């Protein structure tokens, strides 16, 4: 069972949806950044990830808005403002994409991975929250 936040609809596990918005900028990224930068600007935490493809990923908001995937003007402004404070040269990049996703957060603050409670033949992997890709191995 690896249905993300929807796993909670199928099994009795305390996983809930948490909204996140993220931006992708495009252009001569390698002349600005060659490694990931994380920082704070006016209390907003942001990370910038240069990709070999020429994209700069700017993330991410954390919003307790359930499974909503609306891209909002406020989040785009917040992320851009913080990103440009950290790397002013990014203002010349193209704003290629703004998107919203939903991460699964386990209320026990750890991933739900292992045999499903009360289900002898069901294994579950969800609740990885913001580290689902990082924790995959």
Ligand X SMILES: Cc1cc2nc3c(=O)[nH]c(=O)nc-3n(C[C@H](O)[C@H](O)[C@H](O)COP(=O)(O)OP(=O)(O)OC[C@H]3O[C@@H](n4cnc5c(N)ncnc54)[C@H](O)[C@@H]3O)c2cc1C
Binding site for ligand X (CB under 6 A): 2-4, 6, 20, 22, 59-60, 101-103, 126, 128, 130-134
The least distance separating ligand X from the CB of residue 18, rounded to whole angstroms, comes to: 7
How far apart, in whole angstroms, are the C-alpha atoms of residue 29 and residue 91?
11
Nearer to ligand X by Cβ, of 45 and 131: the residue is 131
Nearer to ligand X by Cβ, of 50 and 126: the residue is 126
| Helix, coil or strand: residue 63 | strand
Nearer to ligand X by Cβ, of 20 and 50: the residue is 20
The least distance separating ligand X from the CB of residue 48, rounded to whole angstroms, comes to: 12
**Residue number of the CB atom closest to ligand X:** 132
State CA 39 to chain mean position distance: 16
The least distance separating ligand X from the CB of residue 115, rounded to whole angstroms, comes to: 17
Q: Is residue 75 classed exposed, middle or buried when 0-12, 13-18 and 19+ CB atoms within 10 A define those classes?
A: buried
The least distance separating ligand X from the CB of residue 62, rounded to whole angstroms, comes to: 8
- CA angle 119/135/82 to nearest 5° reads 125
Nearer to ligand X by Cβ, of 92 and 95: the residue is 95
- CA angle 95/103/66 to nearest 5° reads 95
């Amino acid at each position: 069972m690896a249905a993300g936040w929807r796993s909670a609809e199928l099994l009795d596990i305390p996983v809930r949806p948490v909204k996140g918005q993220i931006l992708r900028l495009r252009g001569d990224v390698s002349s600005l950044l060659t490694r990931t930068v994380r920082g704070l600007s006016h209390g907003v935490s942001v990370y910038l990830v240069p990709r070999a493809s020429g994209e700069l990923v700017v993330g991410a908001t954390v919003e307790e808005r359930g499974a909503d995937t609306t891209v909002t003007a406020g989040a785009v402004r917040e992320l851009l403002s913080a990103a440009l404070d950290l790397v002013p040269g990014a203002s010349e990049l193209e704003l290629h994409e703004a998107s919203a996703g939903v991460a699964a957060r386990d209320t026990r603050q750890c991933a739900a991975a292992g045999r499903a409670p009360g289900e002898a033949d069901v294994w579950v992997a969800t609740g990885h929250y913001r580290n689902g890709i990082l924790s995959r191995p």
